[in-house]
Structure 1
């Protein structure tokens, strides 16, 4: 089973110092999302991420290079998976339920909770709006080149509304990380921990890897 180690970064962060957190995440260990699933076109965006935890939440930074970048959704809990999208699914303790956190290149967020892809409970808009985002997109000069974008995320613990989480220090959780783009000219599905399924489905928690918050 694949593992990610998420170190502790001292301090409390918010929208006023998110750029500082972004720099620290960039200096951290990067993990590659490299399982190209359900595709035979050869189109394969490059995606990496780093993860840490701080006093008030979980911090993530994604690094993406892709030929087609789309970011049309701007309202919380819109279907951002249709855009250029990165995703983070996580479950806590022995709970079979997990949170799906999905973000387009602008940082527009969709967050839900449940045990599989059916009947998921949406996390309220005002709670999701508490996620702090910093987006940077460098557009390629032509279609032969790749766009490059980075997304820094600070997910406050209170976004995980079905759990009472004050800290994740020392805990091990199950999780997976993804990149997709359902409505892009080249739809794609890429995962960190491989998924053995004949049809596209990120919502298969039996294939999650682990995160160790250290």
Structure 2
């Protein structure tokens, strides 16, 4: 294999601080996404001033910890919200709106694998510069309201977020900008376009 045959991955910045007036703090966060037809792989790199991982089980309120999120819509039937704490605890729902959701059962959550550069142990808030990475493998079965043979070639609408509602410096950053008065990631009209090549 020659050098040009290697996959070239471009990082996307999660840098839109849509509500900077009320929440001025903005950690450094970026992501990339690739797939192998059957599985979507996401990688996040984060550097922030404080960090927390108190949620101890999947399906919990991970957005209150140091959290990254990936929302994706394949059509007009709804969208999936994948949310991950910095130690890989996860939440998944298929939604028509923020308040109208079908949450993934345990057997679906168990198929989503993650690897963090942090120990897989809960901890209270820690202050001071922290850098961490999270890699996630999402099989096509996790898109439980759809039935895909392959992810290849699909056009999707998506957004990617960094948040920490329960931190000393709460923050709400997005890849694609959101134009609402208050923080609310459940805004599919502001998703950006992606294609699974």
User: Is the TM value for this pair above 0.5?
Assistant: yes
Contact 1:35 1:190 in 2 (8 A): yes
Show the 5 A alignment for 1:113-192.
Answer: 113-137=94-118, 143=127, 145-192=128-175
Q: Give, in angstroms, the shift of residue 186 of structure 1.
A: 0.5
- Flag structure 1 segments of 5+ consecutive residues without an equivalent: 1-23
For the pair 1:108 / 2:89, whether they are aligned, the reply is yes
- Flag structure 2 segments of 5+ consecutive residues without an equivalent: 1-5, 120-125
Once residues 118 and 27 of structure 2 are traced to their aligned partners in structure 1, the CA distance between those partners, rounded to angstroms, is 15
Q: Give, in angstroms, the shift of residue 39 of structure 1.
A: 3.2
| Aligned counterpart, 1:36 | 17
Contact 2:24 2:171 in 1 (8 A): no
TM-score by length of 2: 0.89
Once residues 116 and 42 of structure 1 are traced to their aligned partners in structure 2, the CA distance between those partners, rounded to angstroms, is 27
Once residues 80 and 111 of structure 1 are traced to their aligned partners in structure 2, the CA distance between those partners, rounded to angstroms, is 11
Residue-by-residue CA offset, 1:140-170 (whole Å, 9 max, x unaligned)? xx94x52000000000110111100121111
Contact 1:48 1:63 in 2 (8 A): yes
Q: Give, in angstroms, the shift of residue 49 of structure 1.
A: 0.2
More strand by share: 2
Contact 1:76 1:109 in 2 (8 A): yes
